[in-house]
Amino acid sequence: MALPLILMLVAVSLVRADEDAYIGVNIGTALSDMPHPTQVVALLKAQQIRHVRLYDTDRGMLVALANTGIQVIVSVPNEQLLGIGQSNSTAANWVSKNVVAHYPATNITAISVGSDVLTTLPNAAPVLVNGMKFIHTALVASNLDRQIKVSTPLSSSLILDSFPPSQAFFNRSWNPVMVPILNFLQSTGSFLMLNVYPYYDYMQSNGIIPLDYALLKPLPPNKEAVDANTLVHYTNVFDAMVDAAYFAMAFLNTTNVPVMVSESGWPSKGDSNEPDATLENANTYNSNLIRHVLNKTGTPKHPGMAVSTYIYELYNEDMKPGPISEKNWGLFDANGEPIYILHLTGSGLVLANDTTNQTFCAAKDGADPKMLQAALDWACGPGKVDCAPLSQGQPCYEPDNVIAHATYAFDTYYHQTGKDTEACDFNGVAAITTTNPSHGSCVFPGSVGRNGSLVNITAPSMNSTSSDSPGSYFYGGAFACVLMVMRAIIWSAVLL
């Protein structure tokens, strides 16, 4: 009887693992000194960015992204959409030249067909669905349709009456296109790509939308927006817009197509009539958004359901026409220098070059050496810390004393468990510190290296599903047990 239940739990956890939300980055290329593809990829690696969206299928980029583990969305540019939407052989050639030729070395996971087509290129709208179908058929012919999904990024301005979300619907003039798009996404197991820009919603609201609500800042409960139909409370524009998309789809009888946010961001600089395009607001929005997405909170309508999001964008694009803000959506300049340091301490490794709240776990001064030794042995044994760097001749061997070695093991364990406070106790002989204990070539997990790249934090080698699994508590508890037994042994030795 118990076995099927276990199998069921395994199946459920696989689905959930599949749905883990991630943060990706869009890579626009309108820079006067666009970095070489290998430099772009070096930046992505240093920033631990594992998901990108390209606006085309630049061969240099696709080659540079090969064998990096980075997952890539490629795009059919709007200029090519008319051709592809009118000829299945043009579509098949496009797929063969730009996708099949690079896969699997380059892990292409989706194709975005056009961008904001309905709002920016309405005359291509009649062929959009055909374009998506032709691309999909070509993938089927190459047996890649399971690995590579086809979608098209939509502007959230297509969603009318977006607040309250429960009353939102797609602009009805576009129903003849939206209905077949949704049917296509549903029948191919794809997702809705939505561009969400609370910056513009805020700008256009004439003061109705408070800035803090757009920036995902914590709000006092009386400032939350309540959907009178569902009584759901919204604390930010982003969630409300994603839920509005779910309701708008449901209005067209589509309830099982997930939303993925293909673009979102905030400009760090603007004209005099864009006073809220500031470094501080851009940093606040993107930092809050990344933490929100990675926290797997989901939206009020679909709590816990991943809304993976691609930040707009990697670089400031100085060649973009239009207002100053258009050129200033980037996280980095052309040299790969950050425009601002995101506040992402404690939310994982992606883009986490924030040293303000760096924490480490160290042995307490004056702790009992026997207790320290026991804790060190536990960490390097049942705790699954890789203690090889502590061996003679390795970078962390010196100074060869129990305090230094225990600190290395404690800190590694602490970072392996996702910096859980309870993981830095070791029965009272360890404490969290903001002082980086790295010395010489002994670089501790969690420290940002001199060149800004994060030191690898290898996941525990146990086969646990994720770093925040209850495993850490289990091991903490196990450690306490071991120590109690050890203490009993020590005490009996003393007494005897």
Ligand X SMILES: *[C@@H]1O[C@H](CO)[C@@H](O)[C@H](O)[C@H]1NC(C)=O
Binding residues for ligand X, rule: CB under 6 A, are 42, 46, 71, 88-89, 92, 104, 107, 109, 122, 137, 160, 171, 173, 179, 252-253, 291, 295, 297, 337-338, 341, 343, 345, 353, 355-357, 449, 451-453, 456, 461-463
Residue burial 355-372, b: 16+ Cβ < 10 Å; e: rest: eeebbbbbbbeebeeebb
Between 303 and 366, name the residue whose CB sits nearer to ligand X.
303
Query: C-alpha dihedral over 289, 294, 297, 303, to 10 degrees?
Result: 110
Q: Which of 133, 313, 317, 364 is catalytic?
A: 317
Q: Which of 133, 149, 263, 301 is catalytic?
A: 263
Report how far apart, in Å, the C-alpha atoms of 110 and of each of 101, 139, 142 are: 15, 11, 15
Between 456 and 466, name the residue whose CB sits nearer to ligand X.
456
Q: Which of 326, 327, 384, 419 is catalytic?
A: 326
Q: Is 274 a catalytic residue?
A: no
Q: Which of 45, 269, 296, 320 is catalytic?
A: 320
DSSP 8-state assignment for residue 122? G
| Dist CA 114 CA 310 (whole Å) | 16
Query: C-alpha dihedral over 216, 218, 221, 223, to 10 degrees?
Result: -50
Between 352 and 406, name the residue whose CB sits nearer to ligand X.
352
Q: Is 398 a catalytic residue?
A: no
**For residue 314, with 0-12 CB atoms within 10 Å meaning exposed, 13-18 middle and 19 or more buried, which class applies?**
buried
CB 353 within 8 A of CB 341: yes
CB of 494 to ligand X, least distance (A): 37
Q: Is 320 a catalytic residue?
A: yes
Cis, bond preceding 104 (omega within 30 deg of 0): yes
Between 171 and 373, name the residue whose CB sits nearer to ligand X.
171
Between 344 and 404, name the residue whose CB sits nearer to ligand X.
344
* Tokens linked to 420: 């859980």
CB of 117 to ligand X, least distance (A): 11
CB 331 within 8 A of CB 25: yes
Q: Is 217 a catalytic residue?
A: no
Strand order through the sheet with 51-54: 149-151, 107-113, 71-76, 51-54, 23-27, 309-311, 259-264, 192-195, 153-155
- Map residue 24 onto helix, strand or coil: strand
Strands 233-234 and 225-226: antiparallel
* Tokens linked to 48: 């631990």
CB of 169 to ligand X, least distance (A): 10
Between 186 and 373, name the residue whose CB sits nearer to ligand X.
186
Q: Which residues are catalytic?
A: 263, 317, 320, 326
